[in-house]
Amino acid sequence: MAKIDQLRKMKLPELMRMRDDIGVIIQEKQTIAKDEFRKEMEEKARAHGFDLGELFGVRSKRGPKKNGTAAVKYRDPKNAQNTWSGRGRPARWLADYVAKGKKKEDFLVE
């Protein structure tokens, strides 16, 4: 109870700074605990000849997703094979049209 009484005597700005500092420390400790737990579980799985990702269906966070494709958003009117989803770097055919003064909205698939 003595600690609570000490906190009650503190001014509001001090308490708010302390709360923010405590939040940072809690976040750091949670991150450390997660990492330690993950390492422990990976070691146990490996000891039994398993991969943790295979056991729980966890996909690696590295690299792009391998499944699924984006829908076609733009199409070349001169060649229907030329398409672009609107993601990533613009298709060369579309960039050429834009360089010639066209708007990419002119090539939207309806």
**Per the domain annotation, does 4 fall within a domain?**
no
- For 7-57, the DSSP string reads HHHS-HHHHHHHHHHHHHHHHHHHHHHHHHHHHHHHHHHHHTT--HHHHHT
Give the structural domain span for 33.
12-56
Are residues 52 and 79 part of one domain?
Answer: no
Q: Is residue 62 part of a domain?
A: no
Q: Decide if 66 is inside a domain.
A: no
* Mean per-residue pLDDT over the chain, rounded: 88
Pair 52, 83 in one domain? no
How many distinct structural domains can be found in the chain? Answer: 2
Per-residue pLDDT reduced to its tens digit, 22-57: 999 999 999 999 999 999 998 998 899 988 887 887
- Domain membership of residue 92 (yes or no) is yes
Q: Both 51 and 80 in a single domain?
A: no
Same domain? For 20 and 47 the reply is: yes
Residue 26 is assigned to a structural domain of this protein:
yes
**Domain membership flag for residue 27:** yes
61 in any annotated domain: no
Residue 25 belongs to some domain of the structure: yes
49-106 pLDDT, tens digit per residue, is: 988 887 887 665 665 656 667 889 999 999 989 999 998 888 999 999 999 999 989 9
Q: Are residues 16 and 51 in the same domain?
A: yes
